[in-house]
Amino acid sequence: MLIGELLAELERCNEDAQKQKIEEMNEIINGMNKEEFRSVFTVELFNRIDQMIEEKKLTLENAILLTKNIGYHNVIVNLFQFDFNMSSLRFRIEKMIAEEEKKKEGENEKLLVGLCECYFILSFNFTSEMLSICVPCLLKAALNKEESEEARKEVEMALLALSSMGVRRIAEQELYFQEIKEIIQYHQEHRNLTRLAYQSAMQFLMFRIFYERSLEEVFMNELHFVREAARELDELTKCVDWERKEGENEIRRKDTKEELIILRWIRTLIRYFSNCTMWKEEFAGLINSIVQLFRAAKDNHREIGSQCVNILRRAVEYRTVGVDGLLKGGAVEAVLEEIQRQTVDDGMLFDCLQFFLNISRRLKEKEKDEKEEDERKEMKRKVFEKLEEEGYEDTITIIHEMFDFQNGKKNYNGKISLDISDYFVNA
């Protein structure tokens, strides 16, 4: 049954029957791909939900449940759905949040949390007033340490809503920092959060680093982001059955929840490698976790495999990781294996070439300090021997001869050198 038909049926149901219909709708929503989702959840549909609330054909509790279900799918699969922003439902929710917050002691805390969750998981523009109300409200909900399944789901939704804010600036650290730090540290000791909730908490704080550079040291040294990200990736990689079923089409294949959480970790790591500057030698373990995930996923989950190479490319390009860390973590071998495959696609090839181009450039940069210069030469020797052993120069030469980068490569954007010698660390 179509979503529109189920929505029409809601108008003729009592409150309990509406909950059942909403669960049926949620099953349909979870099976949608991105294109289907966008085509269904339009401004008109959100306006219709708003009208049903106005005409008391849909209880407010059930309207929040329905909207949260829609928003959950929107966030976890990384959709960009702008229709809610332009709907009357969005303005109703904003007004209700402001009115409920003004009640202070008389406020319905559960209602306010639900409204804030709906607002954050579907909106793209947040006023300073909404941020000042919703962030503390959701953090308070996320601090719930009850061990029941219901409580864990409520905490997960609150943290998921917070993580969906992206890089939007919050005026004061005091609005969020101590609370989110407590949530993360308590989980690291007691393992009380779901995997999605924990990833969301880390993602929320990672996005804040964009504006609050002072958070990076705490994030790395007190919250142990790199160690924890590596552990989570290792465990998630083991949880997924990477073998494609016979006749299964990857384009229509429905991602498992674990795969969706992996993709969320990948997006967080891409931001980490693009924005953070702290690097320690022992963090090569995270590179190795990314490499192991890449090897598990590359044949049967193109998006995860491709994004793993994108992370490695950014790690070397933005100089977040030392070349020694990339070598110890197995990144050089993994990318070299990929570039030598006959079926590598254009996007993957671009990232692979960019990876080696930037390694080459970094190893050619002479250091002023004598000790560091000796270390650079030694690392250059190790990398060159590894590449020579694996037939890297022959591969690069063949690729260079096969493609006219200026005219034939759709991914050529001026960042890939056309001088073949730039790819060789011995040059």
State how far the alpha carbon of 208 is from the alpha carbons of 170, 271, 373, 377, in Å: 8, 11, 36, 38
Cα gap 232→198, rounded to integer Å: 10
Furthest C-alpha separation in the chain:
80
Helix, strand, coil percentages (3-state) for the chain, rounded to 5, are 70, 0, 30
For residue 25, report the phi and psi dihedrals to the nearest 5 degrees: -65, -40
pLDDT digits (tens, 9 = 90+) for 173-217: 778 889 999 999 999 999 999 999 999 999 999 988 878 888 888
| Selection from 426, 343, 341 nearest residue 386 by Cα | 426
Question: How much is the pLDDT for 13?
Answer: 87
Mean pLDDT by 10 residues, the chain (427 residues): 81 88 90 86 94 94 95 88 91 95 78 96 88 93 94 96 84 83 96 97 90 86 94 96 68 79 95 80 87 94 93 90 90 91 79 92 88 89 88 84 56 68 83
Residue reference for tokens 């009850």: 146
Cα gap 212→193, rounded to integer Å: 25
Question: How much is the pLDDT for 54?
Answer: 95
- 292 close to 303: Cβ distance less than 8 angstroms: no
Residue-range domains of the chain with CATH: 256-427 (1.25.10)
Please give the model's pTM, rounded to 2 decimal places: 0.91
Cα gap 71→263, rounded to integer Å: 18
Question: How much is the pLDDT for 250?
Answer: 55
Per-residue tokens: 140: 């308070």
Question: How much is the pLDDT for 414?
Answer: 56
Question: How much is the pLDDT for 406?
Answer: 45
